[in-house]
Amino acid sequence: MKRWARESVRKRGGCGFVPTLGALHKGHKSLIRKARRENSRVVVSVFVNPYQFRKKQYLAYPRDLKADAAVARAEGADVLFAPGCRRMYPNGFESFVDMPDMFKRLRRQKLGWHYRAVLVVVMKLFGIVRPDRAYFGLKDPHQLALIEMMVKEFNMPVKVRPCPTVRERDGLAYSSRNALLAPDERKTAAVIYRALKFARDETLATGAGNWRKTTSRMKAMVNSGQKAAVEHIELVDARSLLPPGKECREILVYVAARIGRQRLTDNIRFRIKQQT
């Protein structure tokens, strides 16, 4: 991969990169297609990074490299990069990217360790693949904000291209974890996107200042679904990830919920009129 990258940077046209955890679905396909349109070379990586999971989740994560290779090829990727874990972390790792303020905000979600590991692996993959553009779904808005911050602050020679979340017909965001839902859980899961749309409509009608009430009604809405339990909801300024203040122009509503044993996340973003 490193040799290919070294040769590749000498060519015109640019290299697009879609880093994934594998189990490629429609969401990934839309990323690969976008990369295909904007670059002359496209690399898709499949790497289930052990450090960003709890052990059980890591072992349960769906893996099917043959199917992934078929999807990547069908969508026009030039390279599928699927390094082994020992190759990526021969001696574990001791170098982190730290963002004390951003991580403090994320700690409310207790997921700082997760995003820290994500940043390390994204940094490593960028170093190996040397892309001109990297494609990430808007589905994980915190991950996206952290990666954008890292790329900006470290002047990394790559453009981060966010891509809209792809949804199923009932609104459920595509995710590899959807395949792990039982049929009744799958049906329940649509409540997440309904609650997000409710939050958007409510906020546009009653104002962002009303966020406590809005999120508590969302929570009740999701929890009313069978086997559904909200883990975390936030309704924040999309840029700062802090509660919406007077300057706020764009809202991010984010939900993480357990449906059965799976943890699903989704979000919605929308502009609001500035408060006066």
Q: Which residue from 11, 21, 23 is spatially nearest to 121, judged by alpha carbons?
A: 21
| Closest distance of CB 263 from a copy of itself, Å | 27
158 in helix, strand or coil? coil
Nearer to a copy of itself, 123 or 255 (CB): 123
Nearer to a copy of itself, 69 or 149 (CB): 149
| Closest distance of CB 81 from a copy of itself, Å | 12
Dihedral-angle region of residue 239 (phi above 0 means left; psi in -120 to 50 means alpha; beta otherwise): alpha
Nearer to a copy of itself, 6 or 37 (CB): 6
Give residue 178's Cα distance to chain centre. 15
87 in helix, strand or coil? helix
28, 114, 142, 232: which one is catalytic? 28
235-262 in b/e burial notation, b at 16+ Cβ within 10 A? bbbbebbeebeeebeebbbbbbbebbeb
Q: Is 232 annotated as catalytic?
A: no
Residues in contact with a copy of itself by CB under 8 A are 2, 5-6, 9-12, 93-102, 120, 123-125, 127-128, 130, 149-150, 153-157
What phi and psi values does residue 92 have, to the nearest 5 degrees?
Answer: 60, -150
| Closest distance of CB 173 from a copy of itself, Å | 28
| Closest distance of CB 201 from a copy of itself, Å | 35
Give the pairing type, strands 133-137 and 15-20. parallel
Nearer to a copy of itself, 23 or 102 (CB): 102
Query: What are the catalytic residues?
Result: 28
